[in-house]
């Protein structure tokens, strides 16, 4: 689960959902599907539907529940729909960049939804511009559309296959034409995309939790490099010509994915709980109780508790009503920032030693303040345990990481970090332990290891891949 | 914590907060204080400040974070402030009823905030109208103001004392004049009100969690029947002439109050955890794990786990982004309602027997659907345990209870309820057990026992005390 | 017609409209009636309806077309309706002061709409507060309601008659009860109120233009001091016990009333045209053409043209799209203010001498800039003619006049004014001429003569009658 | 001036404005310039500025005064600005189609504003799509941008010149690059565009009235086919290689252009007045007075009055506050539609014969109702005179004409039209008379004559040039 105030650090880019519906209520199901994916993006939301060959679109800034009302959904008739949620950055947050994007091309009108980040986006844009393309947004989706439109093949699947050869990076796409829904996942499968079913209807989604929310169930993941075409008659798969090992972003398992989603056949909740158990094995600690930073640290904390036999208690309580917007406390009210969101249960922590479990440390400012508040409430020893390795490298594939200068893990040793945040002891899960916890394999672990699954040209020197030539709108 | 979708059942009326600030940033502190009380009302929010004798007011429909922005707060200058959050009902939800209400009276201009419900509101209105009063709202606050203004005494405290003799019911009031903040709690102390301090500043609040959020701490509860006057020089207490036993609404301990608040010197969190332990003692159950209906059932579930030795696991995951507004699923999408809000962690529950802990059952529709989903995900035996007695009677003192026809506890035996919601076994905490869990005494338990601390004329026949003669606005 | 930018000077307070409808579409007719009265107030709009004894209300800040939509009107069912438009001042402009105000009193629920100003409002408020009344708004309407509620008579008409004895000032009221519409005009008839009919339906309105807009016609003016009661069975008149000479605000004839309205049996348009003719007779001028400051100066300019034989031409063109809100030009763009609103037709004015006709000069800033622009466009001699006498005194009865310090007419002789605004010659219509133009008699001419129809205590020293003790909201 | 309710008939497409400012307050001047052009489009408004090479944009649905506030303008820093207003149609009215459009191309980032209509838009789109272009809007502006981006020349002026060879139709363009403002007018000059100056700043605008509004003045029209480049050092003109006769849309003279604008060196006001004089010469009429349909018929009515010696009077009064949105009267309230907007001055018209002057008849519904209301108010003979010829043909160059089936002039003879609308006599100005009135030559008169200045392929059969393949958004 996402925590906007405290965790303005690692952010997913987007969530996508699509359906071909026999009932013809495609937009309504997509609406509920996007609700289930809201944790993947709270900036803007949009749905496009196809009705008798016409594509209708509504999108706006805001949460799904704010962008759509009953009247808007009623206008979006049609049995094919595709929807998108996008996350809120300060920079080029604008309705012009909201998705789906709808393009009229020689292949007809298509709606595109994209989750991911192209590493060679800038080079592709420049090359397309040289050939006469014009760009109205700053999102990669438009680059992909321009490449598709430039393909001379009349078969859209062949065009997609040929465009995929040019794309370098992470992309989970849903493309809607007048009569088909096409799911595409990059050859390394860096971003997730899966197929679901509700009775006879087939769906695509970033995460399986959306299928259950709308009353359906997960069928399977889209394979890396696979193209999946869904129409009214069923589904057809176009596997990649050359099969790569999957390199799913491991942060989907750690933090991004909803705990009730399943990826690679594994429950993310169970994987996080196992991570807590292994964490206990690797860096054990003794204390009066185990406590989590809610909500994302809780599954691992419960796992740690199970493995250690130390009881799990709630020592921090979250204010469920702190929304996206609130007025920043002034300098002399700095402590309010964390307190608005999380409060310490003094009666629980007073005089007690604690194993405090969180899923990651990025800049470290929040955990530092939390520990200081715990101390103020009379907590004894605080043993900080993180259910993932230190984040040391930036992400090039769709996660909003700070620069290395701000990454605590890149600048300090584990011991130094412990001292900096004020913990009595500190322990991170090893990368091996994390992989073990997933009960799986095939991950991009670039942010921990610096080993990226794709060659990043000029890598370290180009964190901000798409910051040049921005039109702020 | 409140859960709008699933729990459209028992609702608190309001939250109040006030401060006399040396810094002069009274509105800003009130803003953060109201954030911490947001669980007590999401319909409207308002703040009034006193600046050099002028009272300035801003209030509107919406959450605190929506009603105020930086510019609005800047305009609300002054070193005294009082704020209010109100809950959303369908009926007379209107900005005209939003609080604080500001009145010009012979005693000068006063701002009033009220949490509670007068049982004799209708009779008082009629009698005031006979004397020539006019009413523009449907809230009790206006009745109280009219009574105050009708008092001939020039000393506001004496006027309040004399008005209190006429009021019958629950009221926690904060009254702001040009230079004073006056806290008033009804003689039975049915609704909570407490005093806090932040350095030299004194505050009043419905709950102590607001004090910690703004960086202060709890001093003490306002006593039943006490009048507390705070001005720039300090605080003065006017105890009741005749001391009654306190009759605090016990639902504050069970559900309304935030777990990190302290009432009667007791941590609500610890009390709820103890309730879980006693629940285990009174109606034990054996299962593979203990699971809560998040978030409100969690402390008791952890207590049950601790007492029974059965591990606590999360079997249900909550969607944090389902806000106040979403489009109602249509008839054939009924199952979506609960699924939008809560999803089952199939891997956790499949093949496992469960002790499922919740804090109360009102209409029973939500728990019934949840159990049905757990079954669909392969759960084994489900032992439902409720950390409070059956709700059998309506509330007359500020809680929005359904009519007895809709109260499951009023219509069926415990065994019947268990069968109706589909549980394999069911157990409620006894009233004695609940009182024991509070480590305290002096409660209104009318909704469980039908024993009200005040004589309710015509009681059973008059659930809707203030529905007559409404002006819908 | 009103001209917000240039004429931020004399402003009407309000417009009122009411209907008892056989068709039961009372709110819809009221909506269109308020559209026709929009020139009397653009700040807020509201409609209250009576349906089977319930009074429903909707009001908000904004123009009629912004405040209501189809859904809102649909909700306002009922066969009695009363509506109000209010004008925008900077001070206490707030939805709390928007009308109709709805009061629950011992006489039942009543909705009140008021146009006018009580000269003894402050004294009445103080006296009511002494008796225990509370006030939530800063409008006189609430004072009138409090007086009505304080009357012990069960017959509302008798109560109104007795309250009228206490009111001193201007008031045109429409009071709606569950089954009656009551029109009241002050004993001097300072503000207008008239009765109209559409088939069998009877209506009340500030001006007759509203009757024609909804497809009906004017029946007659409500007489000064008369009370008119309309119910489903027809109309009943309660004439004043003692008959006063009418003292209608003469500015209704000059500027406030819409030209297509009829008052005292006279067309306002024809009266303004006659004023132009008499103006020509009293202060003739020779020029190439007669030109008006549009739109309010046009009827008199046409009259001047007719009397003088000098052709009427448009020399100034108005931007119809400059609405209520626009960003104020900065200091070095001062000239833009007038230019946004009015532009000179250079080809018409170049090298020509002009008789420039306007209806009044208050502060003189606009006419000064206009003359300066005319000069810049090559105009020759400019003979300024004003179709009313100089405004020399403040109004105490509902018109927003500046203080005498800012009234050009109070500070300078006519010749000085001509020089100050840059005219080659200047001429005002005499008060006798103005009265002659109305083809009528019985006016308040206080702003020209300083002779008020009511004794104004402390007069000159108390311009701001209701500025004390304001609660800004 | 535009009259939305009565004249939902002929509509201009857009207005454009641009400035290179020494002061650096480019967006602010553009804001006021757009205010002056608001009559050319009320659907959406937008401004783009160039600041140190970055282009910032704000646009939204609504009037200029609604779209921008002080804060928004402050954010739009930069010394170059271009702005646009667009008119409101029901179909593809959407913020996606609002202008300026900003494109990133190989020539850098450019902002485009367009007024006009390409006759070969569909063919160009198809051909561009064949080459791989994608389209996100339904406006011609995007087609022009795609063509520009496809040009291989590095000099933007040369690119524009070569793109102009492909464009067929009407276009007045303002293109903003990082350091230049480029004005382009189609080779026939169908839509207007002119150059203005304010001190050292140079501006471009659809009409000269915008220059005067911002305190500047008209320099000259952009010539047909001319490209004008303005940068911080001054202006450079690129005349067309081959000079065509200008074919300015004659409706700019009749109705679209603001009367205070100057085109072809002629005052539109004077031209309209002359049209009235010639109308009197061609189809004289005798009556008690001449009256116009305000506001657009007034200059011609004054001209008719001058030529005939029959006095000009106002017989109809306009409600200045009927804005863009109001609730449609129901069937049995049909008469309210016209009455809301225009009311008859009964005292003026009763018993009088009238020469009623309007500028055009399109569908005829409004004039028919007006005449019927005049009759109901007792008017005698009504001689309808139209200061332009009958509109008989659709426009292909940017004016929203109804289909020929709905054009009264296309279906009936002049005498029949007179009978249909209820006039006692009817007379239209001849095309020769109209041209004479302009004191000029070089017009597109296609809507009167069916003679279009460009070959329209498939003409009569293709009224809706851009209705295919629309994405409603």
CATH number for the domain spanning A104: value is 3.60.20.10
In a 3-state reduction of DSSP, which class is residue D397?
coil
Find the range with the poorest average confidence among B235-239, B375-379, C23-27, C349-353.
Answer: C23-27
pLDDT-derived band at B93, boundaries 50, 70, 90: low
For residue D412, tell me if it sits in a domain.
yes
Q: What is the dihedral of CA D209, D211, D217, D220, to 10 degrees?
A: -80
Helix (H) or strand (E) holding A366: helix A365-376
- CB within 8 Å: A319 and B345: no
For residue A447, tell me if it sits in a domain.
no
CB atoms within 10 A of CB B123: 14
- CB within 8 Å: B104 and C149: no
Per-residue tokens: C425: 């010659």
pLDDT at residue B7 is higher than 80: no
More confident residue, B419 or B107: B419
Q: What is the pLDDT of residue B473?
A: 27
Find the range with the poorest average confidence among B166-180, C36-50, C302-316, C325-339.
Answer: C325-339
Please report the sign of the dihedral spanned by the C-alpha atoms of residue B212, residue B216, residue B218, residue B222.
negative
- CB within 8 Å: A69 and B327: yes
Instruction: Using an 8 Å CB-CB cutoff, list chain C residues near D267.
Output: 345-348
Do C189 and C94 have their domain in common? yes
Q: How far is C238 from C246, CA to CA, in rounded Å?
A: 16
User: Do you find a cis peptide bond into D295, omega within 30 degrees of 0?
Assistant: yes
The shortest CB-CB distance from D109 to any of A132, A142, A469 is to A469
- For β-strands A80-86 and A14-20, DSSP reports them as antiparallel
Interface partners of chain A (CB pairs < 8 Å, 3 or more) are B, D
Do B118 and B221 have their domain in common? yes
**Last residue in a domain, options A242, A263, A284:** A263
- CB within 8 Å: C146 and B132: yes
Q: What is the pLDDT of residue A334?
A: 63
- pLDDT tens-place string over residues D46-102: 999 999 889 999 999 888 988 998 889 999 999 999 999 998 543 355 778 889 999
**Last residue in a domain, options D222, D239, D263:** D263
Find the range with the poorest average confidence among B268-282, B413-427, C210-224, D396-410.
Answer: D396-410
Q: What is the pLDDT of residue A426?
A: 98
Helix (H) or strand (E) holding D302: helix D298-308
| Closest CA–CA distance from residue B343 to any residue of chain A (Å) | 7
Q: Most C CBs within 10 Å: which of D17, D39, D347, as the mutation test of the C interface? A: D347
Q: What is the pLDDT of residue B332?
A: 64
Do B304 and B227 have their domain in common? no
* Active site amino acids of C: 14
Per-residue tokens: D437: 């009135």
Between chain C and chain D, how many beta carbons pairs sit less than 8 Å apart?
A: 181
The shortest CB-CB distance from A347 to any of B32, B42, B269 is to B269
D154 is annotated as contributing to ligand binding: no
Q: How far is D29 from D36, CA to CA, in rounded Å?
A: 11
Q: CA angle, corner B226, sides to B224 and B232, nearest 5?
A: 140
Between chain A and chain B, how many beta carbons pairs sit less than 8 Å apart?
A: 181
List phi, psi (to 5°) of B66: -90, -35
For residue C447, tell me if it sits in a domain.
no
Per-residue tokens: B38: 């947001």
Do C235 and C300 have their domain in common? no
CATH number where D304 lies: 3.40.50.2020
- pLDDT tens-place string over residues B8-67: 456 667 999 999 998 888 999 999 999 999 999 988 999 999 998 899 999 988 889 889
Give, in order, the Cα–Cα distances in Å from D59 to each of A174, B33, D56, D65, D101: 29, 38, 10, 12, 9
Do D195 and D277 have their domain in common? no
Residue-by-residue DSSP string for D429-456: --HHHHHHHHT---EE-HHHHS--SS--
Touch between chain B and chain A (3+ CB pairs, < 8 Å)?
A: yes
Instruction: Using an 8 Å CB-CB cutoff, list chain B residues near A313.
Output: 302
| Closest CA–CA distance from residue B49 to any residue of chain A (Å) | 18
- What percent of chain D stands above pLDDT 70? 90
First-residue to last-residue Cα distance in chain C: 30
Do A356 and A210 have their domain in common? no
- CB within 8 Å: C104 and B134: yes
> The tokens 């003794």 sit on which residue?
A286
Task: Name the H helices within D151-206.
Answer: 156-164
- CB within 8 Å: D54 and A471: yes
List the one residue out of D238, D206, D207 whose CA is nearest residue D225: D238
Do C314 and C204 have their domain in common? no
For residue D21, tell me if it sits in a domain.
yes
Do A249 and A302 have their domain in common? no
Residue-by-residue DSSP string for D377-397: TT---EEEEESS----S--SS
Do A294 and A344 have their domain in common? yes
Per-residue tokens: C67: 């405040």
- CB within 8 Å: C340 and D1: no
Residues of chain A with pLDDT under 70: 1-12, 88-93, 322-326, 330-335, 457-473
For residue A465, tell me if it sits in a domain.
no
The shortest CB-CB distance from D314 to any of C38, C298, C336 is to C298
pLDDT-derived band at B457, boundaries 50, 70, 90: low
Q: What is the pLDDT of residue B324?
A: 56
Q: What is the pLDDT of residue D152?
A: 80
Calculate helix-pair angle for B431-438, B268-282, nearest 10 degrees. Answer: 140
C358 is annotated as contributing to ligand binding: yes
Helix (H) or strand (E) holding B238: strand B234-238
Residues forming beta bridges with residue A110, ordered by sequence position: A103
**Around D277, how many Cα atoms within 13 Å sit in the side-chain half-sphere?**
14
In a 3-state reduction of DSSP, which class is residue B402?
coil
Do A175 and A118 have their domain in common? yes
Instruction: Using an 8 Å CB-CB cutoff, list chain A residues near B274.
Output: none
Do D103 and D213 have their domain in common? yes
Q: How far is C284 from C304, CA to CA, in rounded Å?
A: 9
Do A300 and A387 touch, CB atoms closer than 8 A? yes
- CB within 8 Å: C58 and B473: yes
Touch between chain C and chain A (3+ CB pairs, < 8 Å)?
A: no
The shortest CB-CB distance from C259 to any of D321, D333, D345 is to D345
pLDDT-derived band at C148, boundaries 50, 70, 90: very high
**Last residue in a domain, options B215, B246, B263:** B263
A127: exposed, middle or buried (Cβ count in 10 Å: 0-12, 13-18, 19+): middle
Instruction: For residues D166-180, give the mean pLDDT.
Output: 95
Interface partners of chain B (CB pairs < 8 Å, 3 or more) are A, C
For residue A225, tell me if it sits in a domain.
yes
Interface partners of chain D (CB pairs < 8 Å, 3 or more) are A, C
Do B100 and B111 touch, CB atoms closer than 8 A? yes
Touch between chain D and chain A (3+ CB pairs, < 8 Å)?
A: yes
- What percent of chain B stands above pLDDT 90? 72
- CB within 8 Å: C130 and B106: yes
Calculate helix-pair angle for A365-376, A414-421, nearest 10 degrees. Answer: 50
Longest dimension (CA), chain C: 72
CB atoms within 10 A of CB A196: 23
More confident residue, B249 or C335: B249
- CB within 8 Å: D339 and C213: yes
List the one residue out of D279, D283, D245 whose CA is nearest residue D437: D279
Do A212 and A280 have their domain in common? no
Nearest CA in chain B to A209: B343
- pLDDT tens-place string over residues B190-207: 999 999 999 999 999 999
pLDDT at residue B346 is higher than 50: yes
For residue B389, tell me if it sits in a domain.
yes
Nearest CA in chain B to C106: B129
- pLDDT tens-place string over residues B299-317: 999 999 999 999 999 999 9
Q: Most B CBs within 10 Å: which of C104, C121, C138, C150, as the mutation test of the B interface? A: C104
Per-residue tokens: A117: 């980040």
The shortest CB-CB distance from B347 to any of A65, A269, A306 is to A269
List the one residue out of B169, C347, C183, A448 whose CA is nearest residue D269: C347
What is the total count of domains within chain A?
2
Domain that holds residue C363: 271-319+333-439
For residue A2, tell me if it sits in a domain.
no
* Active site amino acids of D: 14
Q: What is the pLDDT of residue C471?
A: 31
Q: What is the pLDDT of residue D471?
A: 31
Do B22 and B208 touch, CB atoms closer than 8 A? no
List the one residue out of D39, D37, D41, D40 whose CA is nearest residue D19: D37
Find the range with the poorest average confidence among A267-281, A362-376, C302-316, D330-344.
Answer: D330-344
Instruction: For residues B403-418, give the mean pLDDT.
Output: 91
């Amino acid at each position: 689960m996402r925590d906007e105030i405290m965790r303005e650090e690692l952010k997913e880019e987007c969530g996508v959902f699509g359906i071909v519906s026999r009932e013809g209520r495609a937009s309504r199901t997509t609406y509920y599907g996007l609700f289930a994916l809201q944790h993947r993006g709270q900036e803007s939301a949009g749905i496009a539907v196809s009705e008798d060959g016409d594509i209708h679109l509504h999108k706006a800034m805001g949460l799904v529940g704010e962008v759509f009302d009953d009247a808007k959904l009623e206008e979006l008739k049609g049995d094919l729909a595709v929807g998108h949620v996008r996350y809120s950055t300060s920079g080029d947050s604008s309705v012009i960049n909201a998705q789906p994007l709808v393009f009229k091309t020689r292949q007809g009108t298509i709606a595109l939804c994209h989750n991911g980040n192209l590493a060679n986006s800038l080079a592709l844009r420049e090359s397309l511009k040289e050939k006469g393309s014009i760009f109205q947004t700053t999102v990669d989706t438009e680059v992909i559309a321009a490449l598709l439109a430039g393909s001379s093949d009349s078969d859209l699947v062949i065009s997609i296959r040929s465009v995929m050869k040019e794309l370098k990076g992470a992309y989970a796409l849903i493309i809607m034409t007048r009569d088909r829904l096409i799911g595409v996942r990059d050859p390394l499968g860096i971003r997730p995309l899966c197929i679901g079913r509700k009775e006879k209807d087939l769906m695509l989604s970033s995460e399986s939790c959306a299928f259950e929310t709308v009353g359906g169930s997960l069928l399977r993941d889209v394979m890396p490099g696979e193209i999946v075409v869904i129409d009214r008659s069923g589904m057809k798969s176009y596997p990649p010509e050359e099969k790569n090992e999957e390199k799913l972003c491991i942060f989907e398992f750690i933090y991004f994915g909803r705990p009730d989603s399943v990826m690679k056949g594994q429950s993310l909740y169970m994987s996080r709980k196992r991570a807590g158990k292994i964490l206990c094995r690797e860096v054990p600690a003794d204390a009066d109780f185990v406590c989590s930073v809610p909500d994302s640290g809780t599954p691992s904390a419960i796992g740690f508790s199970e493995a250690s036999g130390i009881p799990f208690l709630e020592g921090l309580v979250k204010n469920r009503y702190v929304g996206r917007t609130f007025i920043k406390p002034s300098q002399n009210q700095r402590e309010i920032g964390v307190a608005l969101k999380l409060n310490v249960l003094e009666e629980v922590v007073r005089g007690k030693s604690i194993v405090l479990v969180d899923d990651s440390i990025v800049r470290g400012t929040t955990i530092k303040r939390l520990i200081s508040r715990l101390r103020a409430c009379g907590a004894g020893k605080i043993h900080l345990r993180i259910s993932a390795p230190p984040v040391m490298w930036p992400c090039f594939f769709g996660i909003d990481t700070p620069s290395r200068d701000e990454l605590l893990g890149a600048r300090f040793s584990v011991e130094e970090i412990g001292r900096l945040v004020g913990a009595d002891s500190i322990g991170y899960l090893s990368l091996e332990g994390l992989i073990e916890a997933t009960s799986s394999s095939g991950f991009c672990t670039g942010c921990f290891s610096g080993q990226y699954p794709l060659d990043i040209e000029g890598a370290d020197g180009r964190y901000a891949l798409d910051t040049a030539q921005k039109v702020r709108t």
